[in-house]
Amino acid sequence: MRKDFLSYNPPTIGDDERAEVMDTLQSPWVTTGPKTKAFEGALQEYLQAPSVVALNSCTAGLHVGLLALGVGPGDEVIVPAMTFCATANVVEHVGAKPVLVDVTPDTLTLSPEAVRAAITPRTKVLLPVHYAGHPAQMDELDALAARHGLAIFEDAAHAISTKYKGRMVGSRSNLAAFSFYATKNLTTVEGGCLSGDPALVEKSRIIGHHGMNRDAWKRFDRSGSWYYEVVLPGYKYNMTDVQAAIGLRQLKRLGGFQKRRREVVARYEAGFKDLAALELPVERPWAESSWHLYVIRLKEGALRIDRNAFIDELKNRNIGTSVHYLPVHMHPFYRDKYGYRPEDNPVAADAYARMLSLPLHAGLADEDVDDVIAAVRELVLANPA
């Protein structure tokens, strides 16, 4: 057994990031300024996106994006039940109704069949989540959106570097929101961005910076003007140059991070493929996952211990894990407000009861991965039903 505790998903931050932050702190700009602008440009190039605005979180991106799309009271937004609560919370924030629907059994991404059944005359947006870094079935969702005159807005919180049929998530004209939270494949500690059509992105930028028609960089630069006007009552969602400094260095390292993640995934696959009690994550042939999460599921009735006991036993062996996620329709707020029952989204509810996320990050050594594999194998082999 390991002597030290293996954290589930710590950030991979090194000397380059620290040096870039120190350079920022010694400069005249620590809030939104030249490094934020440079980070936006680098993200736009990496994502092959029409336009990008950097923000202080993915949640902020989802919020201002919905507002830019004109979503409000009386509207409905279709959201997968298997996602972090923020995806649905922002729909509540704009006064609309999140309609929580089920996911596909293999990838746990938004089910086109469930979407088709949930569309009503009030539906305005489809909000697919690229769960764990695996892309949703965008062709099918695009067809439904076109047929019913709906907007597509991608929650790409897990999906920096994800590709759908060879195309980078975030490269399309529809809005896509990314997260750079501490556990993400690329981190700015807190932070995110929104990509998409330049007009929608620019409107989102204004909403996310007090509704001002001129941000600080444009106002306080040597060539700028002090004068600005508030064109709508916006929010304080801008990214700082301190965050962007980390992001600039992280983006340069992202290719290496992703290579290591795929190596870890391959090692897990080889270590678990003979264990019939486990349902392993998949990557469909048309997908290139970012592998933000490695989620295994215990097969029903295959073991004499349940998921919670499995997690406790891994912790006793100094292996950290997590669960992604309690389905949104099972949270008290959504359950009580809309009357959802677990069985309303049975795939999500069943997956939740059996799932756990194993350590997956670029800082894992082969010995760490081997320790995880050994601990999981020991528990499975010692606890047959």
Residues 198, 203, 204, 205: is their CA dihedral positive or negative? positive
CATH number for the domain that contains residue 332: 3.90.1150.10
User: Is residue 360 a part of any domain in this protein?
Assistant: yes
Co-location of 260 and 220 in the same domain: no
233 burial via Cβ count (<10 Å: 0-12, 13-18, 19+): exposed
In terms of Cα–Cα distance, which of 281, 364, 355, 291 is closest to 324? 355
> What Å distances lie between residue 238 and 21, 210, 218, 229, CA to CA?
17, 9, 14, 17
> What Å distances lie between residue 295 and 59, 119, 124, 324, CA to CA?
23, 30, 31, 8
Ranges of beta strands (E only) in the chain are 52-55, 76-80, 97-101, 123-126, 151-155, 163-164, 167-168, 175-179, 192-195, 278-279, 287-288, 294-298, 355-358
Each of the 385 residues of the chain gets a pLDDT tens digit; together they read: 899 999 999 999 999 999 999 999 999 999 999 999 999 999 999 999 999 999 999 999 999 999 999 999 999 999 999 999 999 999 999 999 999 999 999 999 999 999 999 999 999 999 999 999 999 999 999 999 999 999 999 999 999 999 999 999 999 999 999 999 999 999 999 999 999 999 999 999 999 999 987 665 555 566 666 677 888 999 999 999 999 999 999 999 999 999 999 999 999 999 999 999 999 999 999 999 999 999 999 999 999 999 999 999 999 999 999 999 999 999 999 999 999 999 999 999 999 999 999 999 999 999 999 999 999 999 999 999 9
Numbers of helices and strands, H then E, in the chain: 13, 13
> What Å distances lie between residue 334 and 55, 102, 351, CA to CA?
27, 15, 19
Co-location of 267 and 354 in the same domain: yes
- CA dist 25 and 235 (Å) reads 25
Co-location of 258 and 117 in the same domain: no
Co-location of 225 and 283 in the same domain: no
pLDDT recorded at residue 219? 56
Rg (CA), the chain: 21
pLDDT recorded at residue 1? 81
Q: State the DSSP code for 219.
A: H
- CA dist 50 and 168 (Å) reads 12
Q: Where are the alpha helices (DSSP H) in 136-240?
A: 138-148, 198-207, 216-220
Co-location of 288 and 186 in the same domain: no
Task: State the Cα angle at 65 between 72 and 189, rounded to 5°.
Answer: 130
Which of 251, 271, 298 terminates a domain? The answer is 251
Residue whose pair of structure tokens reads 């099918």 in the numeric block:
140
Q: State the DSSP code for 78.
A: E
Co-location of 334 and 275 in the same domain: yes
Co-location of 35 and 178 in the same domain: yes
Which of 185, 217, 251 terminates a domain? The answer is 251
Co-location of 200 and 261 in the same domain: no
User: Is residue 10 a part of any domain in this protein?
Assistant: no
User: Is residue 2 a part of any domain in this protein?
Assistant: no
Residue whose pair of structure tokens reads 């409107």 in the numeric block:
203
pLDDT recorded at residue 221? 60
- Alpha carbons within 13 A on the beta-carbon side of 240: 13
User: Is residue 345 a part of any domain in this protein?
Assistant: yes
Catalytic, out of 184, 203, 252, 299: 184
pLDDT recorded at residue 229? 83
User: Is residue 159 a part of any domain in this protein?
Assistant: yes
Co-location of 53 and 181 in the same domain: yes
Q: Which helix (H) or strand (E) holds 224?
A: none
- CA dist 262 and 256 (Å) reads 10
Q: Which two tokens stand for residue 100?
A: 């929580």
Which of 251, 272, 305 terminates a domain? The answer is 251
Total structural domains in the chain? 2
Residue 184 designated active-site: yes
Neighbours of 17 (CB within 10 A): 22
pLDDT recorded at residue 178? 99
Co-location of 280 and 225 in the same domain: no
> What Å distances lie between residue 214 and 226, 230, 241, 244, CA to CA?
9, 9, 17, 20
Co-location of 237 and 284 in the same domain: no
Tell me which residue range forms the domain holding 161: 15-102+109-251
User: Is residue 1 a part of any domain in this protein?
Assistant: no
Co-location of 192 and 260 in the same domain: no
CATH number for the domain that contains residue 189: 3.40.640.10
Residue whose pair of structure tokens reads 């809030």 in the numeric block:
31
User: Is residue 298 a part of any domain in this protein?
Assistant: yes
User: Is residue 7 a part of any domain in this protein?
Assistant: no
Amino acid at 96: A
- Alpha carbons within 13 A on the beta-carbon side of 375: 25
Q: Which two tokens stand for residue 159?
A: 């999906």
Q: Which two tokens stand for residue 43?
A: 């993200």
> What Å distances lie between residue 308 and 107, 305, 311, 318, 323, CA to CA?
22, 8, 5, 15, 10
